[in-house]
Chain A
Amino acid sequence: MGRHIVRRLAAMIPVLFMISVLTFVVIQLPPGDFVDSYVKQQRAAQVKISPQEEASLRARYGVDEPLPTQYFRWMGGILHGDLGYSLALDQPVNEIVKSRLPYTVTIGVLSTLLLYAIAIPIGILSATRQYSKADYFFSVFGFLAMGVPDFILAVLFLWGFYKLTGDITVGLMDPQYVSEPFSLAKGANIISHLWFPALIAASTGTAATIRLLRANLLDELGKPYVTVALAKGVPRRRVIYKYPARMSMNPFIVSAAGLLAALVSGEVILSITLGLPTLAPIFLQSLKNQDSELAGSIVLILSALTVIGILLSDILLAVVDPRIRGSV
C-alpha cells in the first residue's frame, strides 16, 4: 500500500507538467496577447496610449518573447514556490491565490459536506421507500434543483437576504471579525455566512447525487446478499445500513475526487452574483485578459487538487473495499 501511494505520487508529476504546458499554450492560442487586450481596453476607456508606450509595455512584460522562454520562466518560478505575476491585476499571483483560495476551499468543502449530508439520507429514503409519497416529493424537488440554474437561486437568495436584513452585501463575516487574527470563532462566523452560498453551489450536485444513490441502492437492494441477510433474521433497517447502503457508496468515493475542481468551475457565476472573493471570478477574468501566469497557476492548482483527490479516493476505496485492497 505505501509503495502504491509513492508510485501514484510520482506518476502525478508528469501529469501536472503536461497540464501546465497545455494550459500555457491554450491561453496563448487566441490571436493577440495581454498587451493587445490591455491597450484595447484602455482605448475603449478613452485613455490615450502611444505606440511607444505600447512597445515599452511589450518589452516590460516580455510578451514578445518566444512561448517556451515565457513558459520556462514561469515554471522556473513555480519550482521555487513563486507562481508568477498577474499583469492584469498588477499583483503577484501568490498573493491573489493566498487571499482567495481559502474561500474557494471553504465553499468547496462546505458544499461537498452539505451535498453528502443531504443526499445520502434522502437517497437511502427514496430507494427504500420507492414510489412512496416521500420518494415522489424528493424526485420532484430534485429535478427542480437540477433544472434551475445556480445564479437564479443566488438571485432569489439575495432578494430574500435583502428583504430580511435590508442589506445587499452578504459579506464573508461580521464586521467585528474582519481585522481579527484567525480564530475558531472567526472560522465559525465565516461558515455561518457561507453556508447558504455553499448550499446553492451544492444544489445541482445534491440532486444528481440523490438520483444516482437511489438508482445504485435500488440495484443493490435486489441483490441476493440482501435477501440472505434478511433471512438470517437481521432487522431490515440494520441490513440496509450494513450491506447495500455501504455498497452503493463506492461510486461516490470515486466521484468525490473531481468534486472540488468541478465546484470551482461551477462557482463562477455564483461568486459573481453574490460578490464572493473566490478564485472563480478571477479565473474567468484572467482567461479573458490572456493573463497567462495567473490563469496557468489557477489551472495548475485545480489540477493538482483533482489529482490529489483521485489519489485520496483510490486510497479510501481500498480501505472500504477488500476486493480492491487485495489487488494493490
Chain B
Amino acid sequence: MMDDLPLLEVVDLSVTFSSREGEVFAVDKVSFSLFPNEVLGVVGESGSGKSVTSLSILRVLPASSRIANGSIFFRDEGRTIELANVDSESEPVRSVRGRRISMIFQEPMSAFSPLHTIGNQIGEAIALHNLPPGLSRSQRKLEVRKQTIDLLASVGMPTPEQLIDSYPHELSGGMRQRALIAMGLACHPSILIADEPTTALDVTLQSQVIALLSRLRSEQEMSIIFITHNLGVIAEIADRVLVMYLGREMETASVDDLFHNPKHPYTRALIRSMPTIAGTLDTLIPIEGTVPSPNNLPTGCRFQTRCPERVDGLCNVHEPVSIEIEPGHRVACFLSGSPVPQGGTND
C-alpha cells in the first residue's frame, strides 16, 4: 500500500481566519498523504483544525478564512490536480468537489436544509455528477430517484421508498446520520472525508456506521479520511493516524505504531485519557489543563503548557518541526529528535 503513489498529498497547508485581533492560524503547516484504499484517521481535541483541514481540501472554507500557504495535490484518472492555489470556483476544483472527493459533515441536523426533503438533497448530487448522458428530463428524474433509493438502502435505511420523501426533522438522529452518509457516497467518490460521522450516535449505531464505512471502502475502492475524537474508533477503522493539536500536526504513524509505540507526549496523553484503551477507570488519566486559545498561542511547542515531559528553556522557547523518525512515522517533538534551532528564537 505504501509503495503506491499517494492519492492525496497535503503539503505545508496553513489556513487563517481574520478576526479582530488579526489573522489567526486555524491550521499551521500541516502535511499528510492519503493512499489508495486507505483509511487515514485524524484525531485531536476540539479546535485542533480537523474540520478546517477538510474544508480546505474541498475549498468550501467560510468567507472569513483563506488558505494562507501550502499545496494540495489530488491524483485522479491519470492526472494530478492542484487544489489549494486556484480559485475556489475554478474548473479543477469544480471537477473534483462532490464528485471525486466528498464529505460527510459533523452535525446531521444542521447539515440538511430543513426546507427540502432528504431525497431532494441527496438527489441533487446525483443529478449533478452521476447520470448517464442522453436522458430526457423525466428519465433523469426517475433515474435520480432510483439511485437515491438504492443509496438509502445501501446505508441501511429500512424503508427507503418512504424515507426519501421525508424532511430532516421527521427522521430520528440515526436515520438522519445515515441519510448524511448516503449523501456523501452519492457519486462513488475516490476520497470520502468523514468528519465525526458517529459522534451524534449511540454506541450500537456507532459500530453499525463504522462497519458500514469499512464495507463500502472495500466494495468501492474508496479512501477515507476519518475524523474523530475517539481513539477507540480509530483503532477499529484506521490504517494510519494523524494526530493534530491547535492547528499543528503532532504525530503521524501507522495505527499499530500509534498505539504500541507512540512518540509524542500529546499522543501518549490522548491514549491515557481514552477509557476504552486505558482499560479500567483507575488508569484513565485526563489531559491536564485546557486547550489554549488560538488567539493567544503559547510560545515554543503548542502543547508545552500541558506537557508532562516539557524541557524548560527548550520546549517553551522553540517550536519543533516534524521529522520522520522511521519510514511512515513522523513526530514534531524535541524529545524525538526534532532539530533544535541554533541561536535566536523560532517563529
Contacts and interface: CB of A to CB of B under 8 A. Distances in A.
- Check if A and B associate: yes
Interface of A: 130, 221-225, 227-236, 242-243, 246-247, 320-323, 326
Interface in B146-202: 167, 169-170, 183, 186
B89 A229 contact: no
Contact of A322 (B62, B105, B115): B115
B111 A233 contact: no
B128 A234 contact: yes
A227 to B, nearest CB: 5
B97 A233 contact: yes
Contact of B125 (A130, A232, A247): A232
A321 B72 CA distance: 40
Contacts of B99: 233
B155 to A, nearest CB: 16
A212 B103 CA distance: 32
A233 B94 contact: yes
Contact of A232 (B110, B114, B115, B128): B128
B285 interface: no
A225 B98 contact: no
Interface in B88-114: 89, 94, 97-99, 102-103, 105-107, 110-114
B129 A233 contact: yes
A232 to B, nearest CB: 4
B113 A236 contact: no
Contact of B63 (A130, A320, A323): A130
B113 A326 contact: no
10 contacts: A221-B63, A224-B110, A229-B113, A229-B121, A231-B55, A232-B125, A233-B129, A234-B98, A321-B114, A326-B170
B23 interface: no
A164 to B, nearest CB: 45
A320 B115 contact: yes
B102 A321 contact: no
B58 interface: yes
Most buried by B among A228, A233, A247: A233
Contact of B55 (A227, A235, A322): A227
A12 B99 CA distance: 53
Contact of B62 (A222, A234, A321): A222
B325 interface: no
A233 B113 contact: no
A231 B113 contact: no
B124 interface: yes
A64 to B, nearest CB: 60
B60 interface: yes
A326 B63 CA distance: 34
A323 B103 contact: no
B167 A322 contact: yes
Interface string B124-157: 1100110000000000000000000000000000
A322 B124 contact: no
Contact of B102 (A227, A232, A320): A232
A246 B105 contact: no
A231 B167 contact: no
Nearest to A325: B167
Contact of A231 (B103, B114, B116, B170): B103
A223 B58 contact: no
A127 to B, nearest CB: 10
Contacts of A230: 58, 60, 97
A225 B115 CA distance: 11
A228 B111 contact: yes
A228 B105 contact: yes
Given A233-B97, A234-B124, A243 B169 contact: no
Contacts of B60: 227, 230-231
B54 to A, nearest CB: 9
A101 to B, nearest CB: 36
Given A231-B102, A231-B103, A322-B167, A225 B111 contact: yes
A225 B128 contact: no
